[in-house]
Structure 1
Amino acid sequence: MAHRIFTLIAILFWSTSHVGAMEVPENLSQFELDNGLKIIVIENHRAPIVNHTLWYDVGASDDPPGKSGLTHFVEHLMFEGTKNTEAGEFDNRIKLMGGFNNAFTNQEGSGYTVEVSTEYLEQVMELEADRMVNLTFKPELVLRERDVILEERKQRVDSSPSSLLREQLSATLFQNHPYGIPTIGWEHEMRSLTLEDAKSFYKKYYHPKNATLVVSGDVYPDQVLELAKKYYGHLESPDDFEKRPKLLEPPHMAERRVLFRDPRVSAEYVFRKYYVPTEIASDEENLAAIAVMVEVLGGSGITSVLGEKLTVEEKIATYTGAGFIGDVTRPVVINMYVVPAQGVSLEEAEAKMDEVIAGFLEEGVDKDHLDRIKKQIKYSRIYAQDDAKNAAMEYGHGFVNGLTVEQTAAWTGQLLNTDEESVMEAAEILLSKNNSVTGWLLKEVTEQ
């Protein structure tokens, strides 16, 4: 298990919000083509490199009932050839340019990122525009990729007791929202995905009106706009396209627990998830306070409250951590874990974790600690701005989560404006275990 669930970079980029009306950075430009494609250009002329990331506003939350994993399946098929390219050709051509490419699917969106020398931007744009509308869906390749995603699930989830526990925790935490369904999908539903499922899903969601192009690096706005018009401008979007309605969680009225036993477990631990009610998380100031509170409580290793108390002082834990994911437009979840030291039971570890939380709520946040966290946030942000890929990820994530460029740009300022009082108000979320699910990962002892 990683020592920290989420880093400061995660706070900065994976959860974005806003405060007031912060101005858009001077090096950022926005456009929209007649067909609905939104374009964000972020200039950074320190090196002759450009990142081209195309985001589609379709994620695992859009998977039709009974077809979990479909979004991720289509992501894989995006590399299996078009009317103009063969299967695998996209990857090979990027390699010949000396570049890097990747793709990813999360609950809210899908992204396709390429980083190359600036001279190859036009070729990259031509390739991406081609596969936005021209996938061929050869039956033998579709079936092969279905086997690939099933194998991926085995490697990433089924072979890992920790991953299986977290999957069960999410499924238990969410009572109505699709976040309770894993992005990669449930195995029995993945096996039933068909060629027609993939084709209809692609046709519905892969088009300019449902996409945002983020180009970051050694480029100029007019240059990017001209190329985008040339390669994306003629592509059509359906007239009747409508985005999915947002589902809400009902009030959580009971604490839940999950005991997961597996003979492969090497280290037992306690893992808790808190669901933050929408009426709290949808307020920007509240969300920033939650982000900082979580970092203070468990996001900075042994210098955090949990780490200092349980690892350094009492020595009852080998690792502790806390983090959060979400933003004002989607569910927010706080994660917390304790890996007990040898000879310490999970029952004792959980009791000690609760004891530290109670002490934090009673004593409040140390001002010096809070100032140190905010300084780390400030300088992490400065360093991250120098990376073309980070910039493309930041604003792309904002897009698929329904945020404006202005909202995304303002997030760091909101974090830095957080004070002791707001942090402690945010910590009151931890008082109600009705909004939580606590999991124990246990080693199952099998009889010889």
Structure 2
Amino acid sequence: MLKMGWAIAALAALVALVGVVPVAAVAEKGFKAETFKLENGMTVIVLPDHRVPVVTQMVWYRVGSADETKGKSGIAHFLEHLMFKGTDDIPPGEFSKRVARLGGQDNAFTSNDYTAYYERIAKDRLDEVMGMEADRMRDLRLTDEIVLPERDVILEERNQSIDNDPQRQMTEQLLAALYLAHPYGIPIIGWRHEMEGLTREDAIAFYGVHYAPDNAILVLAGDVTADEIRPMVEKHFADLKPSGVSLRVRPKEPPQLAARRLAMSDARVQQPQMTRLYLVPSYATAKGSEAHALELACDILGGGETSRLYEALVERQKLATAVSIYYDGDAYDETAIWLSATPREGVPLEKLEAAMDKVIADFIAKGPTAEEMARSKTVLRAAAIFGRDSQFNMARIYGTALTTGQSIEDVEAWPDRIEGATVEEVKAALAAYVKAERSVTGYLTPAAQ
């Protein structure tokens, strides 16, 4: 389930003040999903919300950077940019301008597992915007005059967001070391030397296979119902031809037998940092309640100022200025738990790491307390309910789930499954996956002057 960090943080603060968030008192304002499927294979999810006459439309494609052809890294993100460059009916650069003139907003994003495009628009303008989205699903028009300058744009994006940021560079190296075979070890934006070779032909080939109704999910959240909106959806999308895209087949990780360690120094680094990744199951690949147990474990260990790691390393031992842990559960294949810690001035990274390992080892051995479990379940379930107050949030939650191997039932049952997880399940999940041989640890330090 897509995490709602801002909501969890707010609720965690409330829990710290009043002890318990009364989940039952948070109104079930949520969205009851309605769904149907077109004959060409496109799945449609409708999340009715009649508070205001506005609709959030998202088109999700089951393709991300992990589905790219070897040697063509970055093509999924590149195509996301090119999707705004025009069709036979919409001139290059005009798509977003038209949405804006209609009073709406639009954008797009790419991950390892999906690429999504969205618009938020008044209900009476939805018909036009839906037609525009359907138009570019199968009628994108690309020339070298459009593609090559945009390739320079993504290269500059990489330069600004990664190559000029040592922490982001270190993250790339950590992921490349964590995944021995799986393409999650390749950056979403791509490796620079491969991005430089991307062509118009590459983009058209990738588009032709993956951008089709049988590889798409349309999510509509807002002032509509499935029965009401179906004729409009059929008008715009039903005649689009499927591509016959095959099921995803990706390399699997071999057994991981050795812990990996990286060290990177850079003159731009101001503060040393230690980061560790563990290879763990995602919601889609986990057995039974493993993923829900890992979610709870990470919240108890690192979910705010009352967490085990924060209290031990920041408050009591005064070794760190910041510490966090995050379970990235929304992935089609095996994913990662991320730990990060920043030492206080003068504290060696080795000392901080040893103290962190002790906290984690004690937690695995003894497990969480009943009070910690109750508090974490309250925070996580309340955040899930609180997050339902947003059209965009809910459309994103359902789209993410359905493009990463989960189902509508998984989304809607998530709060109850979190509630049902036990102390023993938390201990078992950590003991199974939080192991040195399934990890990579990185030290990022300032370069010697």
Q: Give the corresponding residue for 1:413.
A: 416
Alignment CA distance shift 1:397-1:354 (3 Å): same
1:269 to 264, 273, 285: 273
1:381-396 correspondence runs (5 A): 381-396=384-399
Residue 182 of structure 2 contacts residue 252 of structure 2 at CA under 8 Å; is this kept in 1? yes
One-letter code aligned to 1:75: E
Does residue 185 in structure 1 map to residue 190 in structure 2? Answer: yes
Q: Give the corresponding residue for 1:336.
A: 339
One-letter code aligned to 1:39: V
* 1:373 to partner: Cα distance: 1.3
Q: Deviations over 1:390-436 (max 9, x none)?
A: 11111111121122212222222211211222112222146520000
For normalisation by structure 1, the TM-score amounts to 0.91
Q: Give the corresponding residue for 2:313.
A: 310
1:359 to 358, 362, 369: 362
Residue 269 of structure 1 contacts residue 337 of structure 1 at CA under 8 Å; is this kept in 2? yes
Q: Distance in 1 between matches of 2:52 and 2:236?
A: 25
Q: Distance in 1 between matches of 2:49 and 2:158?
A: 38
1:251 to 251, 255, 258: 255
1:7-406 correspondence runs (5 A): 7=5, 27-238=32-243, 240-276=244-280, 281-298=285-302, 300-327=303-330, 329-406=332-409
One-letter code aligned to 1:417: G
One-letter code aligned to 1:379: A
Residue 53 of structure 2 contacts residue 223 of structure 2 at CA under 8 Å; is this kept in 1? yes
Q: Give the corresponding residue for 1:22.
A: none
Gaps of 5+ in 2: 10-29
One-letter code aligned to 1:174: Y
One-letter code aligned to 1:275: L
Q: Distance in 2 between matches of 1:57 and 1:431?
A: 30
Residue 221 of structure 2 contacts residue 392 of structure 2 at CA under 8 Å; is this kept in 1? yes
Q: Secondary structure at the match of 1:257?
A: strand
Gaps of 5+ in 1: 12-24
Q: Distance in 2 between matches of 1:381 and 1:48?
A: 24
Q: Distance in 2 between matches of 1:312 and 1:130?
A: 56
* 1:223 to partner: Cα distance: 2.2
| Worse-matched range after superposition: 209-218 or 372-381 | 372-381
Q: Deviations over 1:158-211 (max 9, x none)?
A: 111111111100000000100000110000000000000001110111110100
Q: Distance in 2 between matches of 1:159 and 1:10?
A: 31
Q: Distance in 1 between matches of 2:199 and 2:402?
A: 29
| Worse-matched range after superposition: 366-375 or 166-175 | 366-375
Higher relative contact order (CA 8 A, sep 6+): 1
Q: Distance in 1 between matches of 2:58 and 2:337?
A: 28
One-letter code aligned to 1:257: R
Q: How many residues align?
A: 427
Alignment CA distance shift 1:100-1:279 (3 Å): closer
Residue 287 of structure 1 contacts residue 327 of structure 1 at CA under 8 Å; is this kept in 2? no
Alignment CA distance shift 1:108-1:10 (3 Å): farther
* 1:136 to partner: Cα distance: 0.9
One-letter code aligned to 2:301: L
Residue 282 of structure 2 contacts residue 291 of structure 2 at CA under 8 Å; is this kept in 1? no
Q: Secondary structure at the match of 1:330?
A: coil
Residue 278 of structure 2 contacts residue 434 of structure 2 at CA under 8 Å; is this kept in 1? no
Alignment CA distance shift 1:125-1:10 (3 Å): farther
Residue 174 of structure 2 contacts residue 277 of structure 2 at CA under 8 Å; is this kept in 1? yes
* 1:284 to partner: Cα distance: 3.5
| Worse-matched range after superposition: 359-368 or 277-286 | 277-286
Residue 281 of structure 2 contacts residue 329 of structure 2 at CA under 8 Å; is this kept in 1? no
Query: Over the residues paired in the alignment, what is the CA RMSD in angstroms?
Result: 2.0
For normalisation by structure 2, the TM-score amounts to 0.91
One-letter code aligned to 1:285: S
* 1:10 to partner: Cα distance: 8.6
* 1:245 to partner: Cα distance: 0.9
Q: Distance in 1 between matches of 2:40 and 2:8?
A: 33
Q: Give the corresponding residue for 1:18.
A: none
* 1:332 to partner: Cα distance: 2.2
Q: Secondary structure at the match of 1:301?
A: coil
* 1:363 to partner: Cα distance: 3.4
Q: Deviations over 1:60-100 (max 9, x none)?
A: 01110101000001110000111111122111111112221
Q: Secondary structure at the match of 2:355?
A: helix
One-letter code aligned to 1:162: Q
Q: Distance in 1 between matches of 2:171 and 2:331?
A: 23
Q: Deviations over 1:279-331 (max 9, x none)?
A: 99521311110111111111x22211100111111111000000011358411
